[in-house]
Amino acid sequence: MVFIYYSQGVASQYQDFTERLMSHLALKGTEITQQVCKESTAQMHMKHTDEQGHLDIAVENKNIKVTYTVDREKREISKGVMGAITGAGLGGILGNVLRKDQGLGDAITGAIGGAAAGGAYGAYDGYEESKNNRTNFATVLAETIKEVEDELQNIIQGQEEALRISREQGRQKLQEESSKTEEYSGLLEELYGQILALQEEIDLAKSEGVSIIKPKARIDRAEKLYQEAQASLEKKEYSSIKPKITAARDMVDKAKEAMSGAGT
């Protein structure tokens, strides 16, 4: 008897699925032996109460396929068939045992088989159900697979949500960086224009014989601060850009003051 189950959409979690399934089954009293686990397949023997069989676990597309093959399942002889056997005479069965040197268990099994073949269906309690419905362990297995699938789906959803949040944060960070880059680029462009204009004035004053020592020192310092701020922008070290721009502007203002004093 074979039962096949599919765990939907969890193939990416195959290793975790297999480990969790084995752990859950063990906690439910299942003895698992002869495990052979590979990258995308696993085989093992199991025993649960009086039922034994084999599990095969394999990745199939985006799903995980679990195949349970029943090797042995305990069944109880139904009262109806025992009545049919008794009607035929238990003495006859015992007589066969004595004449054929046959074990009692074999003789009863043969009698049940004959009774069932003759129309006395239900030779075992649950015989018809065992053909159409799950065995005891098949039911346990189905419930356990669903439990594990639910756990993994929650994990997958959590991972997807974390990835979504990470992407959103990354998008926001890029937007913030783009906005800051645009803002500081404009400020630096304006600063560079001021420095360039003042350098032209200083060079002109020098050619006219005016002392430019103080304004030249300050405008050189302003240019140095501008270059440092530009380097910080390229490295995206935003926290240090504005202070350098502020200091450079101060040097430009002091250079202008020095030029005014030199010209008088």
CATH dotted code for 177-263 = 1.20.1270
Q: What pLDDT sits at residue 1?
A: 81
Taking the C-alpha atoms of residue 27 and residue 17, their distance in angstroms, rounded to an integer, is 15
Tens of pLDDT along 212-238? 899 999 999 999 999 999 999 999 898
For 49-105, how does the pLDDT look when each residue is reduced to its tens digit (9 = 90+)? 888 899 999 999 999 999 999 886 555 444 444 444 444 444 443 344 344 444 444
- Say yes or no to pLDDT of 133 above 60: no
pLDDT band, very low/low/confident/very high, at 262 (cuts 50, 70, 90): low
* CATH T-level assignment (fold) for domain 1-73: TATA-Binding Protein (3.30.310)
| Segments of the chain assigned to CATH 3.30.310.80 | 1-73
Beta strand extents in 8-124 (DSSP E only): 30-37, 41-48, 51-60, 63-72
- Residues 6 or more apart whose CB falls under 8 angstroms from that of 240 comprise 229, 232
Q: Write out the residue limits of the CATH 1.20.1270 domain(s) in the chain.
A: 177-263
> Higher model confidence: residue 143 or residue 77?
143
What's the pTM value of the predicted model, to 2 decimals?
0.48
Q: Output the pLDDT for position 135.
A: 82
The model's confidence at residue 130, banded by pLDDT at 50, 70 and 90, is very low
